[in-house]
Amino acid sequence: MSTLAPVWLDAVRWDAQGLVPVIAQEVGTGDVLMFAWMNREALLQTVTLREAVYWSRSRNRLWHKGEESGHVQKVHDLRLDCDTDVLLLKVEQIDRIACHTGRHSCFFQQFSGTAEDGQWVAVEPVLKSPEAMYKKGEPTA
Amino acid sequence: MSTLAPVWLDAVRWDAQGLVPVIAQEVGTGDVLMFAWMNREALLQTVTLREAVYWSRSRNRLWHKGEESGHVQKVHDLRLDCDTDVLLLKVEQIDRIACHTGRHSCFFQQFSGTAEDGQWVAVEPVLKSPEAMYKKGEPTA
């Protein structure tokens, strides 16, 4: 039997690209940290390592979160939704920085105003500069 | 100027189908309730009504959450992520039931076991039967 054949992996409804959306939430605070994607291999590695491994659509490869920045996500809980096509990871975020901008959460732009005059305002501080986070090459968080 | 032309709507990176993924999180508890999609009209209506309006991909129409069940989501906060292609809604969930199965959250199936023998186990109670929630037609939550 292939290592990618477990029944629990087949229970996930993968999309046409073989991917599933993933929400990463911080245990304790409940803060939603980021949103990403996984394929079968990424999910299998996540369960095996107990650390978040995503599928990077922009780089078209597996992405062990924190592989460059050190901001690894230790998985405490893994949930599947009612339609079996979305995952929720509850994680311990190392250094409390999930975003490649150096912020705690990727969701730092808050809507302000009304439908007519609304704007997005950055409301969370940069905890660490991207330059300090990434010593070489492009940011991969 | 069209009502769909506000600059803040253009700031969102809509995908090839004109959609953006949306995470709904309960204010107070921080519980992640559900995951859905919005198009421009859905987001505009959400901001205007201050209640969640999604785009139903299965029914190919706008879906004012709770329109049938009464389980409306009142929007307290709206966030855009670092890549401007994912939204986070912080909502007050009327009746505390977000899922069409009658549960609090759609993420009620918990991974248990190991990579070799894992399984998904329903760990949250049904608070209201779907039959009681939907008087007519198919469940639309």
- Phi–psi pair at B100, nearest 5 degrees: -70, -10
CATH assignment of B7-133, given 3.40.50.300, 3.10.20.810, 3.40.50.720, 1.10.10.10?
A: 3.10.20.810
B44 interaction partners in chain A (CB closer than 8 Å): 115
Q: CA-CA distance, B44 to B80, in Å (whole number)?
A: 14
Q: Do B111 and A80 touch (CB under 8 A)?
A: yes
In a structure prediction context, what are the per-residue pLDDT tens digits for chain A, which is 141 residues long? 445 578 999 999 999 999 999 999 999 999 999 999 999 999 999 999 999 999 999 999 999 999 999 999 999 999 999 999 999 999 999 999 999 999 999 999 999 999 999 999 999 999 999 999 987 555 666
CATH assignment of A7-106, given 3.10.310.70, 3.10.20.810, 2.10.109.10, 3.30.300.90?
A: 3.10.20.810
A83 interaction partners in chain B (CB closer than 8 Å): 106
CB contact at 8 A, B91 and B75: yes
Q: CA-CA distance, B66 to B99, in Å (whole number)?
A: 10
Q: CA-CA distance, B129 to A8, in Å (whole number)?
A: 26
A11 interaction partners in chain B (CB closer than 8 Å): 120
Q: Do A111 and B83 touch (CB under 8 A)?
A: no
Q: Look at residue A91 in the predicted model and tell me its pLDDT.
A: 98
Nearest CB to B106; choose among A6, A81, A115:
A81
* pLDDT reading at B23 higher than 90: yes
CA distance B111 to chain A (A): 5
Q: Do A29 and B31 touch (CB under 8 A)?
A: no
Q: Where are the domains of chain B?
A: 7-133
